[in-house]
């Protein structure tokens, strides 16, 4: 048994265990909503009330009080009998045991007038929020994990069964150019942006339940804030990269009849005799990934704009729909990219070199992209062969250039937003009579804003 099959078998077992764990948690979760609050700062979990938290509540009330207002100090009251159960599900079930089953009122939309600008500020009760919360905490939360772990398990099982797809005739020692330096650098910029957005998105969606209990509230708060900023700013290099890909590759990714033949035979991946259906520069599988990234990126951009500018285009219901769609599209994209990474690394011999050095072995090109290889041989495709791979931009250089571009663009967007938001906040404070800042405070803030390091 080869190393690839052993790795596939071990990975499949790990993914299967994770899949079972998620399924058990989803079954045990039910529809019970466990309320929490953040009174105990820095603790690993929230503590819903109790005598020890009274001081923190009073301190927070004093810090938020309107200048000159009288603060009424609350007196601690001990429980009437016994102690509170541990916070969380047990406490919630204990509280519900003494109350009627229909404790929630029938959904009714209630709104009024508010002095704070914005029509959404006047909404007091929005029943659709219950539906959104249930979908977010159940179908999206557990369904997304089942989808990612399940897909990963299937890919790992395929690797364990098929092994790594090799080059039937072996490496020839000659290479042909497959991707230019621009294509590779742009690919790595897009890939870096997406991977970081995927990680920060997981923190946003799953962090409170999975990361905060062992990281602690303080550290998780910093991580969550960083994730929110990074997730937003990295969208710029990601969208830019997708646009460049669309400009460079759309014509070569249009579907044609040969792609249907490739799909019918599953690219020849199920066969072990080295026979693969003929394909042009991009086969049908790569074309599906391309359109998945382009259309998926567009969907993430549109739904992300709704979240980036809350209540600008939609009310509460629209925001909830946008959040649900954004997370769903993001999880689907993660699954797509997992498959893309698999076939481009451990799944197929010679595939990674295409984007790493920009050149592929001549036999690899002939086996997997026969029609494109014939164009090279006939001179229609200007991709010269060479015996030693000497790319114009080194492999590490293309990766570094793409990753650096993603990070630099993200930092530039963050700095630009900070510059604009701080200045607009001071202008709003000066023009808004409801903001209780003295003239001296405004002047001091403006001086600090002008003198801060740029």
Give CA–CA dist 281/252, Å, rounded.
7
Closest CA to 323 of 192, 129, 190, 148: 129
Q: What are phi and psi of 416, to 5 degrees?
A: -65, -40
Q: Are 369 and 177 in contact (CB under 8 A)?
A: no
Q: How many CB atoms lie under 10 A from the CB of residue 232? A: 18
Q: What is the pLDDT of residues 413-444, one digit of tens each?
A: 988 887 776 666 556 655 555 545 555 555 56
Structure tokens at 19: 């899949």
Q: Which DSSP state fits 136?
A: I
Q: Reduce the DSSP state of residue 161 to 3 states and report it.
A: helix
**pLDDT top residue among 51 and 320:** 320
Give CA–CA dist 340/321, Å, rounded.
28
Query: Looking at the predicted structure, is the pLDDT value of residue 403 above 60?
Result: yes
Q: How many CB atoms lie under 10 A from the CB of residue 407? A: 18
Beta strand ranges found along 231-303 (DSSP E)? none
End-to-end CA distance of the chain: 59
Mean of the per-residue pLDDT values for the chain? 82
The CATH code that applies to domain 166-416 is 1.20.950.20
Give CA–CA dist 38/36, Å, rounded.
7
Q: What is the pLDDT of residues 146-167, one digit of tens each?
A: 999 999 999 999 999 999 999 9
Give CA–CA dist 338/152, Å, rounded.
7
Kindly indicate the confidence band of residue 451, based on its pLDDT and cuts at 50, 70 and 90.
Answer: low
Query: Following DSSP, what letter does each residue of 104-132 receive, concatenated?
Result: SPPP--EE---SSSSGGGGEEE-THHHHH
Domain span(s) for CATH 1.20.950.20 in the chain:
166-416
Q: What is the pLDDT of residues 343-368, one digit of tens each?
A: 999 999 999 999 999 999 999 999 99
Q: Which residues contact 211 (CB under 8 A, 6 or more apart)?
A: 203, 220, 223
Give CA–CA dist 19/151, Å, rounded.
10
Q: What pLDDT score does 391 carry?
A: 47
Cα 105 off chain centre by: 35
Q: What is the pLDDT of residues 187-239, one digit of tens each?
A: 999 999 999 999 999 999 999 888 888 888 788 889 999 999 999 999 999 99
Give CA–CA dist 35/87, Å, rounded.
9
Structure tokens at 314: 């939609």
Closest CA to 229 of 400, 415, 406: 415
Structure tokens at 131: 């539906």
Q: What pLDDT score does 431 carry?
A: 59
Q: Reduce the DSSP state of residue 255 to 3 states and report it.
A: coil
Give CA–CA dist 206/295, Å, rounded.
25
Q: What is the pLDDT of residues 311-330, one digit of tens each?
A: 888 888 899 999 999 999 99
């Amino acid at each position: 048994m080869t190393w690839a099959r052993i790795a596939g078998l071990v990975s499949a077992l790990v993914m299967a265990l994770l899949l079972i764990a998620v399924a058990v948690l989803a079954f045990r979760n039910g529809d019970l909503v466990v309320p929490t609050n953040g009174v105990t700062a820095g603790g690993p979990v929230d503590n819903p009330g109790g005598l020890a938290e009274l001081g923190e509540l009073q301190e927070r009330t004093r810090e938020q009080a309107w200048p000159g207002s009288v603060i009424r100090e609350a007196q601690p009251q001990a429980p009437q009998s016994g102690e509170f159960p541990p916070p969380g599900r047990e406490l919630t079930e204990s509280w519900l045991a003494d109350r009627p089953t229909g404790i929630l009122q029938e959904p009714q939309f209630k709104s009024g007038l508010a002095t704070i600008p914005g029509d959404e500020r006047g909404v007091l009760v929005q029943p659709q929020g219950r539906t959104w919360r249930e979908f977010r905490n159940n179908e999206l939360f557990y369904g997304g994990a089942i989808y990612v772990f399940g897909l990963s398990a299937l890919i790992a099982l395929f690797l364990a069964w098929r092994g790594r797809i090799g080059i039937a005739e072996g490496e020839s020692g000659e290479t042909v150019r497959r991707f230019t330096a621009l294509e590779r650098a742009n690919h790595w910029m897009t890939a870096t942006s997406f991977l970081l957005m995927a990680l920060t998105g997981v923190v946003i969606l799953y962090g409170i339940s999975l990361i905060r209990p062992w990281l602690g509230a303080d550290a998780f708060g910093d991580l969550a804030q960083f994730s929110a900023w990074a997730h937003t700013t990295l969208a710029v290099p990601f969208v830019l990269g997708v646009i460049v890909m669309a400009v460079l590759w759309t014509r070569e990714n249009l579907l044609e009849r040969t792609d249907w033949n490739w799909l019918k035979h599953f690219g020849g991946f199920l066969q072990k005799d080295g026979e693969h259906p003929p394909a042009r520069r991009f086969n049908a599988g790569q074309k599906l990934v391309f359109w998945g990234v382009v259309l998926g990126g567009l969907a993430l951009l549109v739904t992300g704009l709704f979240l980036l500018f809350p209540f600008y285009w939609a009310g509460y219901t629209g925001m909830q729909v946008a959040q649900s769609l954004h997370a769903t599209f993001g999880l689907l994209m993660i699954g797509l990219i997992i498959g893309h990474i698999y076939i481009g690394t451990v799944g197929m011999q010679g595939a990674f070199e295409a984007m790493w050095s920009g050149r592929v072995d001549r036999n690899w090109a002939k086996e997997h992209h026969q029609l494109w290889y014939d164009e090279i041989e006939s001179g229609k495709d200007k991709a010269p062969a060479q015996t030693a791979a000497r790319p114009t931009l080194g492999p590490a250089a293309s990766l570094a250039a793409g990753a650096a571009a993603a990070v630099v663009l993200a930092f530039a967007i963050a700095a630009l937003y900070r510059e604009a938001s701080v200045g607009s906040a001071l202008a709003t404070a000066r023009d808004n009579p409801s903001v209780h800042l003295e003239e001296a405070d405004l002047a001091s803030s403006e001086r600090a804003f002008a003198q801060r390091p740029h």
